[in-house]
Structure 1
């Protein structure tokens, strides 16, 4: 009789514990379903059609993928994306690591400086892009050209020159991404045992050796997170290019997502834009899984 009384109570308790978290997650899951996963599924579906408004969509199979992947402008955009993504990712990690080393500590002044350094991350990318457009102003009145004038270097057209536009965009991307990496690396540095530094100093170990044999191994999990996030963000670069150059001049800064945007909203090729986006999704997932796998193998070793 006791068993028959307590068993239902346990089932009710288990059901409440199982349902309550889902009730809290339900609003976020519903928003994600409506505004993310359903549009994503619709985009995958449209990638197999020639979208013809008011005339009905026509099934074309993999023709959109073949046409997009064979487009030389899309191939150039993929190359620009790789250069820009790798450059921004590595540059932001390096600068973020240096900032974390410089701003590590518990002093109140350091907290204020860290807050100021982190501002580019929480500022809208469109606003940051406009500020950098002003700094890149191609005459001597521009902030950067004015500073170069003191060095005897003439005004440079950073954004209007095909040879410098991509690198100028990369600098802005590094400036925006480095503070975010700094915060993650600072969290990793907080867990480093200080006694190791003291023992190394007593043994006369150089600064480079301390960084190599103490700091870097200790913050490997933080670096793994930074690399994973960089792999995701690197291929999805869009707003920086859209605000600064929109792929110009002469397509020298056109990237994967600006090409998909042009196909969808300028040439009204919804099927081609969807195919380009689906390929980007697959490559991003593959790259993320690969980075995670390599990170886990490194942690095991």
Structure 2
């Protein structure tokens, strides 16, 4: 038998082999290099340029002089910023009231359906295949004021007079959220359906033995099992709604009286209406910081879930 001193000497003399750069490593870097270059050119370079532009005054896109945080102060003191800031959180709130539960209900309904699951999956996902701008134009005609609007035509059959829907400051944000939910709920429903399909069938068998009905099975088995998935989708929905642009731009252009103005739409107005690119860059940097914080929260929750 080897003595304890010999074993310790052998362990101290052990040196890990240095990893040599192989052809497999070279192939991996060659595969990743185009993506790294594209990511650097289309993400990091514009981001760093926006930070630089936000610190200068400019004539068009030509930098003039260094002004520090003056552009940020100008943006924050703007009345439109306060309206856009509050409206963005209204969008998030209404999206959680209207849009968060719809995909869950659709996923549970389709999962509990015995026949026609493929048809219902295609039906709920179909709006996601339509471009966002086309969906917004579709809802423009749906909410069109006067007797020619689709919604007013349907309501006229019930004896209700035509309404000017998108000019109502109290209704404009919920109506825009309904349009967003119609388009995006299908893809989220498929994610929930995948989560439901991964639930252990023994749970449902035990519930059936205990005499649980459909609603008891849903509330005591299905919903608790997809709760962690729901938390993740909640953070992703907040991040997505925070960047809302197409819908208020096409449907209302931020009106009436900035009632539907979002932060991203304000960036669009700074850049392409007022041609004030430094303020647009400053507001973009502020949005980026908020999204980084939300993304960090998302990563924290998912990491905790994995642990």
TM-score by length of 1: 0.88
- Superposed displacement of residue 67, structure 1: 1.4
- CA deviation after TM superposition for structure 1 residue 54, in Å: 8.2
For 1:268, the equivalent position in structure 2 comes to: 275
Question: What corresponds to 1:11 in structure 2?
Answer: 20
Q: How many residues align?
A: 291
In the alignment, the residues of structure 2 paired with residue 225 and residue 11 of structure 1 have an alpha-carbon distance, to the nearest angstrom, of 40
Please name the residue that 1:4 is paired with.
Answer: none
Distance across 2 between alignment mates of 1:31 and 1:54: 23
CA distance in 2, matches of 1:136, 1:51: 40
Following TM superposition, where does structure 1 have runs of at least 4 consecutive aligned residues deviating by more than 6 angstroms?
105-108
Q: Quick check: 1:280 aligned with 2:280?
A: no
Aligned mate of 2:156, from 149, 161, 179: 149
What is the alpha-carbon distance in structure 1 between the residues aligned to residue 219 and residue 298 of structure 2? 22
Residue of structure 2 equivalent to 1:126: 133
1:197 aligned partner:
204
Cα offset, 1:107, TM superposition: 6.7
RMSD (Å) for aligned C-alpha atoms: 2.4
CA distance in 2 between partners of 1:159 and 1:69 (Å): 27
5+ long unaligned stretches in structure 1: 1-6
Q: Mind listing any 5+ residue stretches in structure 2 that lack a counterpart? A: 1-16
Whole-Å separation in 1 of the counterparts to 2:305 and 2:290: 22
Q: Take 1:218 and 1:21, find their aligned partners in 2: how far apart are those partners?
A: 38
Match of 2:56 among 45, 49, 59: 49
Q: Which moved more, 1:243-252 or 1:225-234?
A: 225-234
Q: Please point out which of 253, 259, 262 is paired with 1:252.
A: 259
Aligned 8 A contact 1:93 1:181 in 2: no
The structural deviation recorded for 1:21 is 2.3
CA distance in structure 2 between the aligned counterparts of 1:56 and 1:81, rounded to whole angstroms? 30
TM-score (norm 2): 0.86
Q: Tell me which residue corresponds to 2:4.
A: none
**What residue number does 1:85 align with?**
92
Q: Is the 8 A contact 1:86 1:234 kept in 2?
A: no
Out of 102, 108, 128, which is 1:101 matched to? 108
* Contact 2:254-2:265 within 8 A present in 1 as well: yes
- The answer as to 2:80 corresponding to 1:73 is yes
C-alpha displacement of 1:108:
7.4
Deviates more, 1:211-220 or 1:244-253: 211-220
